[in-house]
Amino acid sequence: MQRIVTGIAWAAVLLLFSAAAEAKPLTLRSADRIIDRAFAAELAGDYAGARAAVRQRVQAAELAEEEPARARLKRWLIGQAERKQAFARHGKTAQGYWHAFSTLKAGAGARAEILWQRALRDIPVLERDFAALSQVDLRFERVVGLPRQSDMQQRLRANLTQQGITCLSNAPRARYGVRINLDATDGVELMYRWKVTTEVSYLLRDRHSEQRVVGSFSRRRSVVRETQTAARAFSIRRAVDDLGRQLVFQIRQDVLRDLAQP
């Protein structure tokens, strides 16, 4: 009975939020807020309520400028259906979480972290196996435009270590090898301000499986500040944090894949 009441409550919250949002044009930011609420309802078991509220908002978005946000909501609906099917077929197992985790590729942030914490709770061996398997040999191949390269490396290592990943250097026996490139030389002087763009990329391989490519990543981060030094520092910091989050996501996904294999 409590579960039914909870589901009704979540559906009511989502429908009220969706109805209030219809008065304003749908933006990417408002779409993300809708998805966050729908994801919370989904985790509470109210798949139907979450889906109905999002579909209602998709149908109400008819303006041309709403199309990018509308497309984001439609992609979320596809992922939601896949997660429901994964857990219905495999339960709260490594297989179920592997398939569910893979649907969050486009948003490997707070939602992926929430799902990972659920996986740690439901799969007793996951924390132990992740600690044993997630050793990464970091190779900084081409890094240019940094005042102090060591600061960037330390920030990335700290981010990865905080998530339970062991960072190594010149360690060919580590399971994962990642080659990192970073270029922060793109600086443009604007009127009384500076714009600096940092480009980061990596290639992640599993050395224990004949150099299988696990994943890759590329992103550009632009920051405008009063001085070139400040703009470069903030741009590098954001780019490195983006890289770290995606690397954590792909390693977690790969460890779940390992546990899901028969």
pLDDT digits (tens, 9 = 90+) for 53-106: 899 999 998 899 999 999 999 999 999 999 999 999 999 999 999 999 999 986
Helices 110-122 and 94-102, interaxial angle, to 10°? Answer: 180
N-terminal to C-terminal alpha carbon distance within the chain: 37
Mean pLDDT within 169-197: 92
16: confidence class by pLDDT, cuts 50, 70, 90: low
Q: How far apart are CA 133 and CA 215, in angstroms?
A: 16
Please report which helix (H) or strand (E) contains residue 70, including its range. Answer: helix 67-90
Q: What is the pLDDT of residue 149?
A: 81
Q: How far apart are CA 198 and CA 215, in angstroms?
A: 21
Residue carrying the six token digits 């924390």: 127
For the domain made up of 130-260, give the CATH fold.
Answer: Double Stranded RNA Binding Domain (3.30.160)
3-state secondary structure of 186: strand
Please report, rounded to a whole number, the percentage of residues in the chain having pLDDT higher than 90.
Answer: 76
4: confidence class by pLDDT, cuts 50, 70, 90: very low
Q: How far apart are CA 121 and CA 127, in angstroms?
A: 9
For residue 161, pLDDT over 90 is answered with: yes
Q: What is the distance, to the nearest Å, from the Cα of residue 148 to the centroid of all Cα atoms in its chain?
A: 27
Residue type, 123: I
For residue 17, pLDDT over 70 is answered with: no
For residue 207, pLDDT over 70 is answered with: yes
Q: What is the pLDDT of residue 173?
A: 87
Please give the mean pLDDT across all residues of the chain: 89
Tokens of 103: 């649907």
Phi, psi for 219 (deg, rounded to 5):
-155, 150
Q: How far apart are CA 156 and CA 41, in angstroms?
A: 33
147: confidence class by pLDDT, cuts 50, 70, 90: confident
Mean pLDDT within 178-192: 93
Q: How far is CA 59 from CA 5, 37, 206, in A?
A: 27, 18, 43
Q: What is the pLDDT of residue 5?
A: 43
Q: What is the pLDDT of residue 107?
A: 66
Q: What is the pLDDT of residue 39?
A: 94
